[in-house]
Chain A
């Protein structure tokens, strides 16, 4: 039995190498090896997460998490930005499924409608307006790929270690005791009434912010003052 920190370190190294191989480097060589490395890293890392080990009871969560993470990896690895955007849509679908699994069904629908339906389509719109042709030189060669992959793998490793350390601590167990046996299910009506009673000021602030962003975008992209002031 290998010690968990060694497995985590191996997963980090494999993940860094895999992501570096997957990032566009000017040649298409080694991308399959990179995918294999990244998958091996993901598997080694997933074996450390409790709750991922019991695949039968958590198969839905496993499938959704795998869809989310693989689509996110493919998003940063694909050379064509159009494919990146579509893989990002797949990530959104996976995240919405995870939201649904947590009991946050309104957020799942809002993610699909607002993110995939509005934001992603706007991104695709700009992309097709400005870069209709395929791979450009700056899409085929990323900068700082080694450092970026190492940084990402290090961040994921440190976060995973911190999670394990914190969640196995006594404070979390005490909080779980205090929170009660079952995770409460909130009906949608309660979310709505809470939103417009307790959180009514933030709603107004968010509305103002959206209006300001709208006006700001129009000012940024507008033609400016064509006629000089007299």
Chain B
């Protein structure tokens, strides 16, 4: 009996952390796609808690509700991606800060702080190789077949 409660507790705890991580991602990330992925993570957490409760109560209702959540998530993703693509066509980037004109009237605008560019992986100076060997010559036979290749 208590084992059942412990199982339920474990599943609900994992679900709570999933919801929390999704919330952090949705609040802090600025890429619209990542924001929607975070929202989907929150949905996953809720689904997990519903399935755990359904198992605890020996009821199929939890699984049914998750089934409808999946269908709803598909509909939500279709609408959200259509909106994201439209907004990308208008502003040219996936940055949600490009739409900050829609904020509350008394909120200060978000200003992009200057920060150094990302260090690139390419070396600053390429090694210099001295030319060596002889240039390969061209034979008549090769020239004869070259246009056919």
**Chain A interface residues toward B at CB < 8 A:** 19, 23, 26-27, 45, 49-52, 58, 61, 65, 68-69, 72-73, 75-76, 81, 84-85, 88, 91-92, 95, 98-99, 102-104, 106-107, 110-111, 114-115, 118-119, 122-123, 126-127, 129-131, 135-145, 147-149, 151-153, 155-156, 159-160, 163-164, 167, 172-173, 175-177, 179-181, 183-184, 186, 190-191, 194-195, 199, 202, 206, 209-210, 212-214, 216-218, 220-221
Docked complex: B1-34 residues within 8 A CB-CB of A = 1-14, 16-25, 27-31, 33-34
- Contact residue among B7, B34, B71 (Cβ-Cβ distance under 8 Å from A81): B34
Q: Nearest Cβ in chain B — how far from A24, in angstroms?
A: 8
Query: How many residue pairs between the two chains, A and B, have CB atoms under 8 Å in the bound complex?
Result: 268
**A110 and B70 within 8 A (CB):** yes
Q: Which residues of A contact B82 (CB under 8 A)?
A: 216-218, 220-221
SS of A interface (majority):
helix
SS of B interface (majority):
helix
Q: Which residues of A contact B72 (CB under 8 A)?
A: 206, 209
Since A75-B41, A102-B55 are in contact, a sample of 16 more A-B pairs with Cβ atoms closer than 8 Å, ordered by chain A residue number, is A52-B10, A61-B10, A76-B22, A76-B28, A95-B47, A102-B51, A127-B33, A130-B85, A131-B93, A141-B112, A159-B20, A167-B8, A172-B5, A209-B72, A212-B75, A220-B86
- Contact residue among A72, A172, A213, A221 (Cβ-Cβ distance under 8 Å from B21): A72
